[in-house]
Structure 1
């Protein structure tokens, strides 16, 4: 089931989050040169990749808990549906691993052995893998690894858990140290509070417009 309003709001949530992050970096003079722009882009990519890695770790816990809490007749159905989401996880990890392995120093001998045509083929494969991975990272953060294929109530729950984990990770790693304390606290807490509100709204909309709740999803 696709709800265009929910999907649009999820996309806007992601876009506005990036805009707010760029605004914060510029406002507090984290960007003053071309090198800073590159560093900022690299930092944002690292954060997005970290989000995906946290999501990969959180995914089996939340989905496993959801499946275990469901009635026996539904567990097999949800586990079968989870294979699609698991496939999305494997595809992203494989695409990142392909480019990293192909360009690793340990693969220099293989690159030399295949000659120029082989190097061109490897280069094209790496470009495709990186592009696929970046596209997949974006989709995974917006659509939460297609977990709506398991059940429509799973994405808002998983997104809410993920965003609080990322906020905790920012606190532990000391992210945004160049930003004053009050602004840093607002920015770190802004994402989880906003996503939690969006997740609540999405669950409420699913209940009101489609009759879907966590309780009936579990067969309780």
Structure 2
């Protein structure tokens, strides 16, 4: 496996510039909708991008493995553990966020379970045990609520970070082969650009600015992908023909 630090740095800069351009557009022009709707819309775009990468990744990686000659196909298939782990981390974070939210909303009846048991184990008699059990129950609810709230924030931040890094690395498809992120990234950004073209703009900006913003990401990502392919070929001799064993 070839890990080029320059390519990794360029991917990080690409993501940072994209986030910076989005923030500049938001602060430079008024929003057409409320801030909450804008944030939710961006989260939907992020989830949609993950779905596109997931579908494109499954199709692309499957075609890549099936198109490779033996024993390369089996070798690439054995490396699928890393993309699967990247997906598993996201599902784990989302599951923890759902669990914490369910506790806070009372969807999981912890109170009923505790209320049906004598927390003092009968050590203080019926009346005293009831009072102490009530106090202990209240403390448990307060401490548990605070812990769940902290856990919810941590799980959301963790999931958001995993989503962003997953998109930046195309869910670690480079661990299967170095060329895969360069092929999948343009498909992702152009798909999102087409969807945004038919959607209403989030900010009241001039048409020229919106067009430049809409096309800037796909064009720059495509150019970077072409550069990655050329760098891998010129520095490491990695080509699509050699990757498939042709």
Q: Could you tell me the TM-score, scaled by structure 1's length?
A: 0.85
Compute the RMSD of aligned alpha carbons. Answer: 2.6
1:134 aligns with 2:160: yes
RCO greater where, 1 or 2, for CA within 8 Å and sep 6 or more?
2
* 1:62-211 matches, cutoff 5 A: 62-104=60-102, 108-113=107-112, 115-116=140-141, 117-176=143-202, 178-211=204-237
Tell me which structure has the larger Cα radius of gyration: 2
Structure 2: segments with no counterpart, 5+ residues = 115-139
User: Aligned partners of 2:171 and 2:110: how far apart in 1?
Assistant: 34
User: Aligned partners of 2:98 and 2:238: how far apart in 1?
Assistant: 42
* SS of aligned partner of 1:130: helix
Structure 1: segments with no counterpart, 5+ residues = none
Q: Quick one: structure 1 residues 151 and 25, their matched pair in 2 at CA, closer, same or farther if it must change by over 3 Å?
A: same
* SS of aligned partner of 1:157: helix
Q: Quick one: structure 1 residues 148 and 127, their matched pair in 2 at CA, closer, same or farther if it must change by over 3 Å?
A: same
User: Aligned partners of 2:53 and 2:95: how far apart in 1?
Assistant: 17
1:59 Cα deviation from its structure 2 partner: 1.7
Q: Quick one: structure 1 residues 18 and 216, their matched pair in 2 at CA, closer, same or farther if it must change by over 3 Å?
A: same
Moved over 6 A (4+): none
Instruction: For residues 159-184 of structure 1, give each alpha carbon's deviation from its aligned partner in whole angstroms, at most 9, with x where no partner exists.
Output: 11111111122123334363333322
User: Aligned partners of 2:52 and 2:111: how far apart in 1?
Assistant: 36
Q: Could you tell me the TM-score, scaled by structure 2's length?
A: 0.77
* 1:205-220 matches, cutoff 5 A: 205-220=231-246
1:201 Cα deviation from its structure 2 partner: 0.1
